[in-house]
Copies of this chain bind each other. A is one copy, B any other.
Amino acid sequence: MWRLYQFSLCPFSRAVRLGLAEKGVVFELVEVFPWERSEALTRVNPAAQTPALENGALVLADSAAILEYFDETVDRSPLIGASAVGRAEARRVSAWFRERFYAEVTAPLMRERMWKRVVARQMPDGRVIREAARAAEAHLQYAESLLLENRWLAGPTFSVADIHAAAQISVADYLAGIDWAGHPQARQWYQALKSRPAFRVILGERMEGIRPPAHYDDPDF
């Protein structure tokens, strides 16, 4: 049985949960907070980072590597496109959200509105939050342009790009960093994702001490 070391507001853990659900892989969750450097987490992943996925002696880490692994080993629901060019696009868009969106939007919001509230007990820095909101707006605009061309972010079929993007956006949305107004295509795309069972489970979870905005888990937001 696979065990996933994760916490609910970790965007990379969310991507793994969504991908494993698409693949029909059964796993159990172990909640760990990287900043507590729990023994359970450092034992499986010396980097003390979530997500880490363990099965006996085998440990996988890095959300993109994990999803590639299951796309290679489980036939059901291919997640990285059929042609080499389509796969390159799925990986490009995935990296965009995992690296740029995370660095410019999710990470600063997690620091200001999650870590400072729950761990450091400090006030958030309004300037950093406003910058993250501006970056989120630009990224949603970019998603909008991709979705004007295709039904899904990287082409006509659902892929890892949608998973990595939705995972990042959903954490930013929990932390009140997303303004959906003016992005009809992105909103419709996110609505379709919200109705997927595994995503609904994630959206039902709450982190103690932080309440998401009212629209957060509403499928008809």
Query: Could you tell me which A residues sit within 8 Å of B by CB distance?
Result: 47, 58, 60-62, 64-66, 68-69, 72-73, 84-85, 87-89, 91-92, 95-96, 99, 103
Contact = CB atoms under 8 A, between A and B. Distances in A.
A174 B41 CA distance: 35
A91 B103 contact: no
A65 B91 contact: yes
B88 A60 contact: yes
Q: Chain A binding site: helix, strand, loop or mixed by DSSP?
A: helix
A91 B72 contact: no
Q: How many copies does the complex hold?
A: 2
B96 A68 contact: no
Given A68-B87, A69-B87, A84-B73, A62 B92 contact: yes
B64 A91 contact: yes
Contacts of A65: 88-89, 91-92, 95
A47 B99 CA distance: 13
Contacts of A89: 65
Nearest to A98: B99
A84 B103 CA distance: 29
A99 B99 CA distance: 7
23 contacts: A47-B96, A58-B85, A60-B88, A60-B92, A62-B91, A62-B92, A62-B95, A62-B96, A64-B91, A64-B95, A65-B88, A65-B89, A65-B91, A66-B88, A68-B87, A68-B88, A68-B91, A69-B87, A69-B88, A72-B84, A73-B84, A99-B99, A103-B103
Contacts of A73: 84
Most chain B CB neighbours (cut-off 10 Å) among A58, A92, A96:
A92
A61 B99 contact: no
Contacts of A84: 69, 72-73
Nearest to A100: B47
